[in-house]
Amino acid sequence: MSAERFYTIAYDIPDDGRRVKVANILKSFGERVQLSVFECWLNQAQLQQLKKLVQKKLEPSQDSLRIYPIGGEVEVLGVGQVVENPDFLIF
């Protein structure tokens, strides 16, 4: 079995029915920490299973689900792009 890794998963789903279905899937893998944010400890097989189940429920042209591996890159399923690190900040 592969090592577990900590993930934060956040979603923006405008349709109530799809949102409830995705939340129920995520509840079976981790803990809800905010209305649309879950934290999960997952091995690679669990992560792939979660993604497979969630992708069946998402409407890719409307919904967004982001998987943030702690200490890694961001993966976006559905609408949206990864925010890039700016070359400079203006305060």
**pLDDT per residue over 57-86, tens digit each?**
999 999 999 999 987 677 788 888 776 655
Amino acid residing at 62: Q
Contact residues for 81 (Cβ-Cβ < 8 A; gap 6+):
none
Strand partners for 5? 42
pLDDT, average across residues 84-91: 56
Domain extents in the chain: 5-78
Instruction: Say which CATH architecture domain 5-78 belongs to.
Output: 2-Layer Sandwich (3.30)
For the entire predicted model, the pTM comes to 0.82
Contact 31, 38 (CB under 8 A): yes
Give residue 74's pLDDT. 73
In the structure, what pLDDT confidence band is assigned to residue 3 with cuts at 50, 70 and 90? Answer: confident
Exposure class string for 15-31: b at 16+ Cβ within 10 A, else e = eeebbebbbebbeebbe
